[in-house]
Structure 1
Amino acid sequence: MKTKESKKKRTEIQAVDLFCGVGGLTHGLILGGVKVVAGVDLDSICRFPYEANNAAAFIEQDVKTLSGKTVRKLFSERGLKLLAGCAPCQPFSTYSRGGRKSGINEDWELVASFGRLVREVQPDLVTMENVPQVEQHPVFQEFLSDLHGYHVSWSVVECSSIGVPQTRKRLVLFASKFGPEGLSISESNRRKVTVKDAIAHLRPVVAGQADKKDPLHIAPRLSDLNMKRIKASRPGGTWRDWHPSMRAACHRKVSGDTYPSVYGRMEWNQPGPTMTTQCFGYGNGRFGHPEQDRAITLREAAMLQTFPVGYRFLKKDEKAKFSLLGRLIGNAVPVRLGEVIAETLKSHVAFYASAEKRECA
């Protein structure tokens, strides 16, 4: 007769998070019931937020130099092994802004490194989150070949359909040695989480000032011209609402018509736009606050990425640096997406554990 302890060993999932950044995917996996034992990233700045918010070790190393033997040692003998991660593919990613030049081939090479580690580690489960465009690149087919012997499924998920308050599309791949059942995220028809749901409860702040109780709740200063522009902007509107004298030179060109959301305000009752590494800048997209005359703060950006309001990005008395923290927050996997990935995998594992129990009865 099998004990409860042996059943737990068959269903408990432990994970290593590659390219972990500040811990968006890790935190979501933990909230979803997966034990994350370690995160790996070459950016030393990620160490504090990763370890301050997650009961997991931060390993500062380039995944391209990481061996499967090292990764295997991170897992305990107990439970199922999950190799997870979001291999940066964009030229503006953390890995290509780490003080060295990097071309597109090197960016895609990180996906290949992920595949190599799958071959070397042979975990029970794999999940990869990435930009939808990766599906069109030859490296994706190479990654699929590294998953030989696994049941594999992938789809492009609209994050607003799973509780993330932003319009963000991501490719999510699952691979399992157990079978194909339940290897996909179920998108919901429930009411979408809005900007209002996510950030309306935060204290008002003025452009260029921070909340005294939260140094991350800070918005950059606006020039006199940009202050006039945002005052003339309505939620969901465009720069076309302004008096012509306030329009930028690029707006007067024909090509300017293709960027209607630049210098835009968000809408309270809609999801926000995709958070980018420049999400703190009013002129970089629809990053204006719905009613306060400023861009969103770094804390608001983090919360639109579904980080909890208490997630610590700064050490005590450390001042926020917009370009640095904007990059870390914008590059993160939304926490809620990580949580849904964990829930999907736990349900998948439970299905096959129950099937095994029925066969043994």
Structure 2
Amino acid sequence: MEPSRRFSIAPMMDWTTPHFRYLARQLSLHTLLYTEMVTTGALIHGDTERFLRHSPEEYPLALQLGGSDGGELAHCARLAGQFGFNEVNLNVGCPSDRVQNNMIGACLMAHPDKVAQAVSAMIEATDLPVTVKHRIGIDGRESWDQLCEFIEKVSAAGCRTFIVHARIAVLEGLSPKENRDIPPLKYDWVYRLKETYPDLEIIINGGIRTFEECHQHLAHTDGVMLGREAYHNPWLLAGVDPEFFGTPGPATSRHDALRAMFPFIQQELDRGVFLTHMSRHVMGLFHGQPGGRQFRRYLSENAHKPGSGLEVIEEALKRVPEPEPIAAG
């Protein structure tokens, strides 16, 4: 079944790892999760199993690919199906110099025909839905007509879902971090895309932080995608299922959500994964709560020590009182 994109978490390098996604799934069963961007070169020439490794508990889960060669993207789209992902997404939004030099990411906004060819090859190669995440433009190609040209050419190739970061990307002069904040948000452009192309699924992304903002955007678009706020304040996700899907969420408290991860964390420890590689993703779980700072401090000071295991998390949990009811919204 095609996943619902009513509420999703953006792919974020070094953040939306399997460990964060496992935590997110303890908080919401319906939120669509995305992997970090994986380049076609890494999948074809690197450790494919390592890059595509995930737990079935993470579903629904989409794989985001970085690349521009149609043949390579088609091969990787087939891999996405073989590894059990629910969607394959093409990154046309990342502004970093490193990916630009390999014709990956936001620079592809200047080449709608190339994106269309790539999307067509991916659709031909897989039964999974193929989606595109992109900006509203880049420096030098920032007009409404150029955005429409991009949408029309890529949709003509078969793409029905566009996840739109409502900022341009400035490829000359701004860092990737600055590109997440400095170009102004133009939500009205994304609303206008939905009005102009009502048969396409339009998902809005960029600067969204609260459920109130989500509902405002959902009045004009088909779905919302949160990024940094969902990572830094993951407990927000505990309200997603009742708020947007009308079903109870799986978590009754922050403590229960974290303890539900213990078998998975132990499994990863047994594989040789260091605790700090997992504990960094739960730092925000007690954001704004009494004892939250002490929880974070204890993990920061102890999770990196050799041999650290679940006892470190148990000790950190003693710093925060439990439990409290879910507050949706």
TM-score, reference length from structure 2: 0.36
Pick 1 or 2: higher relative contact order, CA cutoff 8 A, min separation 6: 1
Q: Higher helix share goes to which structure? A: 2
Structure with max Cα Rg: 1
TM-score, normalising length from structure 1? 0.33
